[in-house]
Amino acid sequence: MTSTSEMTYRDALNMALREEMSRDPSVVVWGEDVALYEGAFKVTRGLLAEFGEERIKDTPISENTIVGVAVGAAMGGLRPVAELMTVNFALLAMDQIVNHMAKIRSMFGGQTFLPMVVRMPGGGGSQLAAQHSQSLESYFMHCPGLHIAYPSTPADAKGLLKSAIRDNNPVIFLEHELLYNSTGEVPNDPEFLVPFGQANVIRSGTDVTIVAYARMTILALQAAADLEKEGISCEIVDLRTFSPLDTETIIESARKTGRAVVVEECWRTAGLGGDIAHRIHEACFDTLLAPVKRVAGLDVPMPYSRKIEKICIPRAETIADAVREVVSRKY
Amino acid sequence: METRLRATLPDHELLRLYEQMVMSREFEESCAEQYTKGHITGFLHLYSGQEAVAVGATAGLHVDDYILSAYREHAQAIVRGADPRRVMAELFGKATGICKGKGGSMHLFDPNLNFMGGYAIVGGQLPIAVGLAFSAKYRREDRLAACFFGDGAVNQGTFHESLNWARLWELPVLFICENNFYGIGTEVHRSSALASIHKRTCGYDIPSEKVDGMDVIAVYRAVKHAAERVRETSLPYFIEATTYRFRGHSMADPAKYRSAAEHEVWKARDPIPALAKRLIEEEITDAGHLEGILGNCRTVVQEAVKFAEESPWPEDEEVYNDIYV
């Protein structure tokens, strides 16, 4: 029996950083306010005291260069873990992420590789308005050359971040701001890794498959608990990573249940849920009992007021409604 | 003030600089011909006229030092030691190319030569050079990162971010701005409020100087001195080398925004005949020997073209390789 400790998503990420920095001296961490201030969300708490200023470094507010310096350092043999204070600021770094980090190995004919991670908290729901509430996972998923993870639980936060740091590919590591305080059992084993490309069937069921990730998985679990009372059995596939995407597990589940709802926090139009729904339609057309339904963020810049912000982001109720609609469809 | 050549370098080194400039020119002129024939496609930015910068600078660096450049980088790669045959094959898009035909003219790369790439987003290589310098310092390696870029790059955010960062973290970066006075068709004074580029570094507390980029010896001396200083202090340094491209921005550009008179002034300062004249005047060599060097370079370039022509195309399956480890 592996020992576990109950801890927050935040502390699980901190544990992963700490363990990997202890394990491998080539792991270095930098970002805005990550050292002395210990991170805007305190994910890097205690690292400066433990590892010193050579390995955990504050940077100027220069997002594109935060990523670019990591690209160079990775090429030079280090394993940098760069933090962008929030995913919203990744838009300032898209040149280094898309034009450099994602392409360098390929355009240089495979002669180098980039063992680097760019961490970025994101997601909406904290009344931070249009510029600080975005979910940009589809932007990254559209670009080949990146690995992308987005954990939903503290255990996955630890295991996926450790895998990301050990990955020889460049990794975009998304963290949800509203999950930092969520708690769960986390393995204490410093070799506990969650592999990329393996979705997690976090709840088994028979009537419908809900495909979700990060905070959407937590909401789907809440919806599933309510639906169970109505006699609807939900299976939930937590994606864990967008790249590699575990299409196989999604398809397998959708074949089994015959119905699927895809939940994404990002904007609906050209969102990743459309791609996943299409994969299900293409592979399961003959066995589906209803068209795949999507639950997504509204196609609007996020408003500040909590009353109207709430309706812009998927909720357990909207997921449950979508499931009811898919299940009620008779052929 | 012109120093006598022999006061700077031994004869064989001087002749090597000459040969490298001739090789660069011959390679580029051959590229133009192959582009016209349709063998080279896509963008093609030629270096003719700027040879003294790549050749002088590379000679002033150690072989362990990293070199990064922009998209006008054939000469920088070849002078660093890249096989002209594999560079030409890359431009032809062949499987034998230095990047297997995936990079093309703008993305040459050879980590064995510490040539860390040609980058085609203006200013994109600057943060990467800073990162390489950080890794070198962190790993206690005795090497610096020399980062070439053009006058067009100095108004990108990455320019300012990278200079600030390199100074703040005290990193061994040698910034080398090749000021050929035009970002495509926009002259420096039309894009930069302070057209004297090296003066901009005062905002980042980085020492800088301007050097005549048409004089290979001047560039060599400046870079050698600067590199020693960077190595000793582990602090960045900045060189602006003023130069001129004899052709348009790319093969698609007839360069009508420049006057014939201006072109003639710079053409008269062509770094290759300028060095030839000095080599002969100072009796280091004679015209016959220099003709021989030109002949040898032409043979190498012809062989490179033949190699590229005869090389196979990449297999279709190759598109999925080398994206992930």
What's the pLDDT at B3?
A: 75
Q: Do B165 and A62 touch (CB under 8 A)?
A: yes
Q: Is A176 a catalytic residue?
A: no
Q: How far is CA A131 from CA A58, A60, B120, in A?
A: 23, 20, 30
Give the count of domains, chain A.
2
Q: How far is CA B126 from CA B162, B184, B199, in A?
A: 6, 20, 18
- Does A322 lie in the same domain as A257? yes
- CA-nearest residue to B117 within chain A is A108
- Does A136 lie in the same domain as A206? no
Per-residue pLDDT of B223-248, as tens digits, reads: 999 999 999 999 999 999 999 999 99
CA distance B4 to A16: 61
Report if residue B317 sits inside a domain: no
Whether A234 and A323 have beta carbons less than 8 Å apart is answered as yes
What's the pLDDT at B207?
A: 98
Catalytic residue among A19, A38, A63, A265: A63
CATH number where A121 lies: 3.40.50.970
Calculate what percentage of chain B has a pLDDT beyond 90: 99
CA distance B49 to B32: 14
Whether B196 and B154 have beta carbons less than 8 Å apart is answered as no
Give the count of domains, chain B.
1
Q: Which residues of A touch B145 (CB under 8 A)?
A: 72
Tokens at A67, concatenated: 């990523």
Instruction: Please tell me if residue A62 touches chain B, with a CB cutoff of 8 Å.
Output: yes
Per-residue pLDDT of A83-141, as tens digits, reads: 999 999 999 999 999 999 999 999 999 999 999 999 999 999 999 999 999 999 999 99
- DSSP per position, A49-60: HHH-TTTEEE--
Report if residue B2 sits inside a domain: no
Report if residue A289 sits inside a domain: yes
- Which of A65, A66, A167, A171 is the best substitution to test chain B (most B C-beta atoms within 10 A)? A65
Flag whether pLDDT at A257 surpasses 80. yes
Q: Which domain holds residue A307?
A: 200-328
What's the pLDDT at A163?
A: 98
Rounded to the nearest 10°, the torsion over CA B16, B19, B24, B27 is -140
- Which of A26, A107, A114 is the best substitution to test chain B (most B C-beta atoms within 10 A)? A107
Q: Do B97 and A109 touch (CB under 8 A)?
A: yes
CA distance A223 to A325: 13
Residue B2's pLDDT band (boundaries 50, 70, 90)?
low
Calculate what percentage of chain B has a pLDDT beyond 70: 99
ipTM of the complex: 0.97
Q: What is residue A303's DSSP assignment? A: P
Rounded to the nearest 10°, the torsion over CA A316, A318, A320, A322 is -150
Report if residue A192 sits inside a domain: no
What's the pLDDT at A2?
A: 80
pTM: 0.97
Q: What is the mean pLDDT of residues A234-257?
A: 98
Query: Hey, which residues does A28 pair with through a beta bridge?
Result: A80
Q: Which residues of A touch B130 (CB under 8 A)?
A: 65, 68-69, 72
Whether A273 and A259 have beta carbons less than 8 Å apart is answered as no
CA distance A297 to A308: 13
- CA-nearest residue to B320 within chain A is A106
Q: What is the mean pLDDT of residues B142-154?
A: 98
List of E strands, chain A = 4-8, 27-31, 56-58, 79-83, 117-122, 147-149, 171-176, 183-187, 200-203, 208-212, 234-238, 241-243, 260-267, 293-297
Flag whether pLDDT at A79 surpasses 60. yes
Start-to-end Cα distance in chain A: 47
Q: What is the mean pLDDT of residues A188-203?
A: 98
Q: Is A132 a catalytic residue?
A: yes
How many Å lie between the alpha carbon of B318 and the closest alpha carbon of chain A?
10
Q: Which domain holds residue B162?
A: 9-311
Number of C-beta neighbours around residue A166 at 10 A:
16
Q: How far is CA A129 from CA A219, A309, B185, B217, in A?
A: 21, 8, 42, 58
How many Å lie between the alpha carbon of A98 and the closest alpha carbon of chain B?
11
What's the pLDDT at A1?
A: 57
Instruction: Please tell me if residue A169 touches chain B, with a CB cutoff of 8 Å.
Output: yes
CA distance B207 to B223: 13
CA distance A218 to A214: 7
Q: Which residues of B touch A76 (CB under 8 A)?
A: 66, 131-132, 134-136, 139
- Does A263 lie in the same domain as A144? no
CA distance A231 to A143: 40
Output the CA angle B127-B132-B138, nearest 5 degrees. 125
CA distance B261 to B141: 48
- CA-nearest residue to A143 within chain B is B323
Report if residue A94 sits inside a domain: yes
Flag whether pLDDT at A143 surpasses 90. yes
Of the candidates A71, A95, A147, the beta carbon closest to that of B121 is on A95
Per-residue pLDDT of A304-331, as tens digits, reads: 999 999 999 999 999 999 999 999 976 5
Q: Which residues of B touch A68 (CB under 8 A)?
A: 124, 126-128, 130-131, 158, 162
Give the closest residue to B88 by CA, choosing from B101, B71, B70: B101
What's the pLDDT at A329?
A: 78
Number of C-beta neighbours around residue B68 at 10 A:
28
- Does A19 lie in the same domain as A147? yes
Per-residue pLDDT of B59-115, as tens digits, reads: 999 999 999 999 999 999 999 999 999 999 999 999 999 999 999 999 999 999 999
- Does A112 lie in the same domain as A26? yes
Whether A68 and B133 have beta carbons less than 8 Å apart is answered as no
Q: Which residues of A touch B135 (CB under 8 A)?
A: 72-73, 75-78
What's the pLDDT at A5?
A: 98
CATH number where B56 lies: 3.40.50.970
Last residue of a domain, one of A153, A187, A221: A187
Tokens at A291, concatenated: 């068209």
What's the pLDDT at A91?
A: 98
Give the closest residue to A319 by CA, choosing from A180, A211, A183, A176: A211
What's the pLDDT at B104?
A: 98
Residue B79 Cα to chain centre, angstroms: 8
